[in-house]
Amino acid sequence: MKVGVFICMLIFYFSFLACKMNSENSKETTIVWDTLEVTASAYNSLSWQTGAGGANITAWGDTLRPGLKAIAVSRDLIKKGLDHNTKVKIEGFDSIFLVKDKMHYRWKNKIDIYMGEDVKKARNFGRKKLKIYYEVLLDSISNNTKTEKDNFK
Instruction: Kindly give the confidence (pLDDT) of every residue in the chain, 153 residues in length, as a single tens digit, with 9 standing for 90 and above.
Output: 566 666 656 566 666 656 555 555 544 568 899 999 999 999 998 877 666 667 788 999 999 999 999 999 999 999 999 999 999 999 999 999 999 999 999 999 999 999 999 999 999 999 999 999 999 887 655 555 555 455 444
pTM confidence score: 0.71
| 135 close to 35: Cβ distance less than 8 angstroms | no
Of 47, 96, 49, 109, nearest to 70 by C-alpha is 96
Give the Å distances, CA to CA, from 23 to 10, 28, 111.
Answer: 20, 10, 37
| 74 close to 109: Cβ distance less than 8 angstroms | yes
